[in-house]
Amino acid sequence: MEQIDTLVIGAGQGGVATSEHLTSHGINHVVLERGRIAERWRSERWDSLVANGPAWHDRFPGMTFTCDEDAFAGKESVAKYFEDYARMISAPVRTGVAVEEVTPHTGRAGFLVRTSAGTFDARNVVCATGPFQKPAIPPVIPETAAVTQIHSTAYRNPQTLPEGAVLVIGGGSSGSQIAAELNEAGRRVYLSVGPHERPPRRYRGRDNVWWLGVLGIWNMDTPAPGTEHVTIAVSGAHGGRTVDFRRLAGRGVSLLGMTRAYENGVLHIAGDLKTNLDAGDAGYLSLLEAADAFADCNGLDLPPEPDAWDIPDDPACVSDPVRALDLAGHGISTVIWATGFRFDYNWLNADTLDETGRPIHQRGVSEVPGLYFVGLPWQSRRGSSFIWGYGTTQSSLPIRSLSSGIIWHTTRAGCDVFRSSSLSRGQAGTRSRLPDPARDGRRVAGVPDKGSPRTQHRGA
Ligand SMILES: Cc1cc2nc3c(=O)[nH]c(=O)nc-3n(C[C@H](O)[C@H](O)[C@H](O)COP(=O)(O)OP(=O)(O)OC[C@H]3O[C@@H](n4cnc5c(N)ncnc54)[C@H](O)[C@@H]3O)c2cc1C
> What architecture (CATH level 2) is domain 135-337?
3-Layer(bba) Sandwich (3.50)
CA torsion 7→8→9→15, rounded to 10°? -170
- 109-156 pLDDT per residue, tens: 999 999 999 999 999 999 999 999 999 999 999 999 999 999 999 999
Q: Three-class SS of residue 238?
A: helix
Residue minimizing CA distance to atom 53 of ligand 1: 132
CA–CA distance, 11 with 32 (Å, rounded to integer): 7
Ligand 1 atom at minimum distance from 174 CA = 1
173 CA closest ligand 1 atom index: 1
Instruction: Look at residue 236 in the predicted model and tell me its pLDDT.
Output: 97
pTM of the predicted model as reported, rounded to 2 decimal places: 0.87
CA of 390 to the centre of ligand 1 (A): 12
Q: Residue 4 C-alpha to ligand 1 middle, in angstroms?
A: 24
Alpha-carbon span 391 to 420, nearest angstrom = 15
> Would the CA dihedral through 296, 302, 307, 311 be positive or negative?
negative
Q: Whose CA is nearest to atom 14 of ligand 1?
A: 386
% of the chain at pLDDT higher than 90: 75
pLDDT in tens, 391-411: 664 445 455 445 433 323 333
Gap between the Cα atoms of 66 and 459, Å rounded: 8
Residue nearest to atom 12 of ligand 1 (CA): 386
- Residue ID of nearest Cα to ligand 1 atom 17: 386
Beta bridge partners of 7: 30, 125
Q: Which amino acid is at 310?
A: D
Q: Using the mean position of ligand 1's atoms as its centre, give its distance from the Cα of residue 138 in Å.
A: 21
pLDDT interval class at 226 (50, 70, 90)? low
Spell out which residues line ligand 1, taking CB within 6 angstroms.
Answer: 9-15, 32-35, 39-40, 45, 49, 51-53, 58, 98-99, 128-132, 174, 347, 375, 385-388
Q: How far apart, in whole angstroms, are the C-alpha atoms of residue 170 and residue 55?
A: 26
- Of all protein residues, whose CA lies closest to atom 10 belonging to ligand 1? 386
What's the CA-to-centroid distance between 120 and ligand 1, angstroms? Answer: 24
Q: Where in the chain is the domain with CATH 3.50.50.60?
A: 2-133+343-403, 135-337
CATH architecture of 2-133+343-403: 3-Layer(bba) Sandwich (3.50)
- Centre of ligand 1 to C-alpha 133, Å, is 8
Q: Is the pLDDT of residue 230 over 90?
A: no
Is residue 238 a contact partner of residue 176, using CB atoms and an 8 Å limit? Answer: no
Q: Mean of the per-residue pLDDT values for the chain? A: 85
